[in-house]
Amino acid sequence: MELNKQYNRITETYDTLRKGFNELSDNEFKNILKNITYGNVLDLACGNGDMIAYMQSAGIRCAGVDSSSEMVALAKHNTGADIRCEDFAHTSFEAESFDLITSKWAMQTSAEIDPIYTEALRLLKKDGYFVFLVAHPLRQFLEKKKAGKDYFKKEVVDSIIFDGAITVYEPSHTMKEWLSKTFLSLFTLVSIDEGAEFPAAEQIGGDIYPTYLIITAQKK
């Protein structure tokens, strides 16, 4: 099974449950966007199109990309937007088409992050913004669930979400990957935000730790 297409098998379940479990991160993400001026948006891994619908309600022009054909069909039905079934790192949109690129809970499914940064740079207009939310590296480390865990070793981890209702499989990433030399050469880091959202994510050992990471960046 290709990791970035695994949502084909859980589209309906994920769509139903996500609304009840990711409210905290959704609200924090939307609050960040309130501080950014933008007019044309691309949502990477748009899922069911909820973020697109949210921005459309404010009169914002939106498009979307998702690697799950089932999610693309659902998002098109929900929004009527231009939504394409494509890889995040290789889209067919024209260069410098967007003022803002957003992404939630998706980029960590890709084994390599830098190609996504390069594509985002191509798609953004001058001074455009890239705001993305991903599984926190500390969370992924804990989700390896074994003795002798190695933070620096890239492994596919079983991420149990929505109070145990769904398991997704994602390659682990380090903070250095999210703030890589490529990222820092292409973008200006505006802000980093962390948050904990249980039981949207599994709570290992009852500990409190960040489950998501939001990075806001501006094209250099």
- 118 assigned to some structural domain: yes
- 106 assigned to some structural domain: yes
Task: Estimate to the nearest angstrom the gap between the alpha carbon of 22 and the chain centroid.
Answer: 13
- 162 assigned to some structural domain: no
% of the chain residues with pLDDT over 70? 91
> Cα(220)–Cα(217) distance, rounded to whole angstroms?
9
- 153 assigned to some structural domain: no
- 150 assigned to some structural domain: no
Please report, for the domain that includes residue 178, its CATH number.
Answer: 3.40.50.150
In the chain, how many domains are there? 1
**pLDDT tens-digit profile of 103-143?**
999 999 999 999 999 999 999 999 999 999 999 999 999 99
Residue appearing with tokens 């599984």: 135
Tokens at 6, concatenated: 């695994």
- 152 assigned to some structural domain: no
pLDDT band at 10 (very low <50, low <70, confident <90, very high): low
CB-count exposure of residue 121 (10 Å: 0-12, 13-18, 19+): buried
- 201 assigned to some structural domain: no
Model pLDDT, residue 185 = 98
State the average pLDDT over residues 10-35. Answer: 79
- 168 assigned to some structural domain: no
Residue 5 in this model has a pLDDT that exceeds 90 = no
**pLDDT tens-digit profile of 58-78?**
999 999 999 888 889 999 999
Model pLDDT, residue 161 = 84
Domain extent at residue 129? 3-135+174-196+206-219
Give the Cβ contact number of residue 49 at 10 Å.
25
pLDDT band at 1 (very low <50, low <70, confident <90, very high): very low
